[in-house]
Structure 1
Amino acid sequence: MNVPLGSGTIDVRLPDCEVTVADPPGGDSVDVRAAAERALEEPLGPPLSARVDPDDDVAIVVTDITRKAPDDVLLDVLLERLVTLGVAREQVTVVIGLGLHRPMTDDEIEAMLGPHADLAVNHDPESVREVGTVDGVPVEIGDPVADAETVLSTGVVEPHQYAGFSGGAKTVVIGAGSESLIRYTHGPEMLAREGVRLGRVEGNPFRETLDAAGDLVGVDFSLNLTHGPTGVLGVRAGAGRRVVRELAAVVRDTLSVPIEREFDAVVCGVGAPKDGNLYQATRGATYVALGDRNPLKPSGRLVVPAALPEGAGEGTGERRFFRRLRDADDAESLYEEMREGYEPGAQRAFVVARVLREHDLVVTNSQAPEVVESCLMRAEGDVSDAVEPGSDVLVVPDALNTLLVEGR
């Protein structure tokens, strides 16, 4: 069977094992441009024309290289609509929502945004201003967004470990925000709260905090899509909360796979861009083990094929993640230590440590095995080297876009 690795695939052969493949039912794909144009014509809430004036300076926050989204198409559709509303191209700034990830290079920006790359600036988390508080926590936003009269966003509504699903206000308040909100939302107290889990929107305190912060920032209009194994499954535009909920319903129906028994090992496919570094690639393992239904037996093994051309990762959050895991003696002591608090970005180490307390995590086929070995994980050359003969194995080809749920 084929499993993603980088921008290609590898052929996984486990002849001595019983293998089950978790393939979501999928759905009919849509043409992104046509669906985006239709979404603008039929918005969820007030139309874009009610949100922007011809004289407004407009900020459009887009996702960065760690997200798989046709931002060039979504941006092009938004810019065309803004022109028809009297907003000149020169009035628009495109802000790349980095959060605490590394800045994108000029070549990467051009590859992502095409003819609109000249409008783009990397978010600078050091150049922010406060716009209010949520739960007593300062909500700070980057200057280009704070200076704009109208704030728009593109993005992807996909399963998210904490927010339930990404998209909506998250692209702006996290991607173009500061450490203050990231520290609060990604801290041990928030992540331990009931309702903060993969695939849940309603009653999720993490999601509710992001939406409240979006109200303070003034996120006026979102154009989001969701995708599955067959491609883009839907596009919605309008009020961020409604956009996220509608697309979450679409993706939940198409990505859920019932699990009726436990397995010795799970192979978690990730692929580009998420397997560019260890920080992002470990999502494959944590999404599986900490989702609605953990499919592993006690002490079962997670196997993640990942290219890792950037090693652990180069951004602030990625470096903090790496240091925490590298300097730890074992997963249990690291988990207990981090329950007392940690710096923004290190939350991924906290979640990985939580999984490593119960399961081995083996990263295969990578360009940085020494980085993997230094982070309480094991490195192997190939998936077959990481799975013991005779194992009962579940293969999840797209672990980040598959929701494992309790079998009926």
Structure 2
Amino acid sequence: MELSFPYGKEFLKININDERIKGILVSNLHHYKTDKTQDELVVEALKNPIGTQRLSELAKGKNKVVLIASDHTRPVPSKAIVPHMLAEIRKGNPDADITILISTGCHRETTKEELVSKFGEEICKNEKIIIHDCDKSPLVHIGTLPSGGDCILNRLAIDADLLVAEGFIEPHFFAGFSGGRKSVLPGIASRTTVLANHCSEFIADSHSRTGILENNPIHNDMMWAAAHAKLAFIVNVIINEKKEAIYAVAGDFKEAHKAGCDFLSSLCKVDAKPADIVISTNGGYPLDQNIYQAVKGMTAAEATVKKGGVIIMLAKSNDGHGGEGFYHQMADEPDIQKTLDLFMSRGRNETQSDQWQTQIFIRILQRAQVIYVSDADDQLIRDLHMIPAHSLDEAMKTAEKICGNPDAAVTAIPDGVSVMVIE
């Protein structure tokens, strides 16, 4: 059987004997078909908002409008969303002063080229776009999160007469799902707020997992932040493997987001197929640009690889490790258990940048060895306690040697960020 896996903007393929394959875990989302275009889906959602008035009604009399938009690390089809949101706002208030605020969270700044790719030349030329910086943007303290952390957000959003957001919903490895409230926290939050929300205690909580919202402490903080920032309206889409919108919701940030999550859950839950070797990806570009983000795709493999087995992770990683803190937390201490113990000893407000990602990564490494296929430097991969490989065939041969079995069972996950693997 020939298996194909997204890698950057291309695909990597491998032939594996059928009898070795325990399962190919693919979201039914990829088989879902709609007879509507992306634009038609968004327009229809805007005309039928969930739990609130139409955006054009909300915009009446609101002069200072802020539209939170996703950054370069998210495959949101913004060209099919933002123009319709802008039109709807201006339908309600033609003179509205609109700012598009790019929700980078703690990511690097989005480049001009990435903005053009995301929104198109026209929006980049004609609209006011501000990129959030979690350290340098004007920030304001608006209260204390349920967790006890300080809620500090971009002042531009807090000072807005109307705050709205675009985004997409996918399974998220500790927030349950992306989208909705995540536009605010971590999207436009200060580093201090993000660190408190991503503390080791919460990351270790059994409810902080893919597909879980109820009793998820990370989600609870995010909901509080969005409510107190007065996020009034969202447009969120669900995308297929081609990064095309196949479903859209609009309206109240709680109710519309829940409707989108319910739809997604009905399609992307898959049963684990335990195997010695599990191949996973981050769904290709743009989510596989660095190793930091690739931890997400590894969590899908973690849920189905046998203890002591091997995960083969495919991620182009042309941006390298993706986080200085993440890199040094892994590279500077050979004993990952010591690193984990250090994280768990820190209080909620003592969290350091990237430790949540490192904490989850360590959890994965304590379950299975990881062979990493990428364009990154081999030494970088070794520094991060993984085994480098330059092709899928090479990775498979290495995995078979580790397992001591050339016929070791294999489970394939072509898109590790699109499925919720149920153990």
Question: TM range, normalised to the smaller chain?
Answer: over 0.9
What 5-or-longer segments of structure 1 have no aligned partner? Answer: none
**Relative to structure 2, which stretch is displaced further, 276-285 or 332-341?**
332-341
2:261 paired residue number: 248
Question: Distance between the aligned counterparts of 1:399 and 1:344, measured in 2?
Answer: 24
Matched, 1:132 2:143: yes
The structural deviation recorded for 1:249 is: 1.1
Match of 2:367 among 347, 358, 363: 358
CA-to-aligned-CA distance 1:112-155 (integer Å, 9 cap, x gap):
11121242111021221111221332211112212211110001
Which residues of 2 match residues 266-345 of structure 1 at below 5 A? Answer: 266-270=278-282, 271-289=284-302, 294-313=303-322, 318-341=323-346, 342-345=351-354
Counterpart AA for 2:224: A
Matched, 1:99 2:105: yes
Task: Provide closer, same or farther for how the CA distance between residues 17 and 365 of structure 1 changes in structure 2, counting only shifts above 3 A.
Answer: farther
Question: Distance between the aligned counterparts of 1:207 and 1:55, measured in 2?
Answer: 29
CA-to-aligned-CA distance 1:219-251 (integer Å, 9 cap, x gap):
111110112347423101111111221111111
Matched, 1:375 2:380: no
Which residues of 2 match residues 66-145 of structure 1 at below 5 A? Answer: 66-88=73-95, 91-114=97-120, 115-118=122-125, 119-126=128-135, 127=137, 128-135=139-146, 136-145=148-157
Counterpart AA for 1:288: A
Question: Distance between the aligned counterparts of 1:166 and 1:87, measured in 2?
Answer: 31
RMSD: 1.7
The structural deviation recorded for 1:52 is: 2.4
The structural deviation recorded for 1:24 is: 2.3
CA-to-aligned-CA distance 1:73-126 (integer Å, 9 cap, x gap):
21101001111112436x111011001100011111111111212421110212
The structural deviation recorded for 1:164 is: 0.5
The structural deviation recorded for 1:368 is: 2.7
Query: Under a length normalisation based on structure 2, what TM-score does the superposition of the two structures give?
Result: 0.89
What is the aligned-residue identity percentage?
22
Match of 1:224 among 221, 230, 236: 236
1:391 paired residue number: 408
2:197 paired residue number: 185
Question: Distance between the aligned counterparts of 2:222 and 2:94, measured in 1?
Answer: 28
Matched, 1:38 2:51: no
SS in 2 for 1:335: helix
Question: Distance between the aligned counterparts of 1:311 and 1:17, measured in 2?
Answer: 36
Question: Distance between the aligned counterparts of 2:267 and 2:241, measured in 1?
Answer: 9
Counterpart AA for 2:200: P
Q: Do the aligned residues in 2 keep the contact of 1:4 with 1:397 (CA within 8 Å)?
A: yes
Matched, 1:237 2:242: no
The structural deviation recorded for 1:15 is: 4.5
What 5-or-longer segments of structure 2 have no aligned partner? Answer: 401-405
SS in 1 for 2:218: helix
SS in 1 for 2:59: coil
**Relative to structure 2, which stretch is displaced further, 199-208 or 69-78?**
199-208
Question: Distance between the aligned counterparts of 1:144 and 1:374, measured in 2?
Answer: 40
SS in 1 for 2:184: helix
1:22 paired residue number: 25
Match of 1:195 among 207, 229, 232: 207
State the number of aligned residues: 396
**After TM superposition, which residue ranges in structure 1, 4 or more long, deviate above 4 angstroms?**
none
Matched, 1:52 2:63: no
1:402 paired residue number: 419
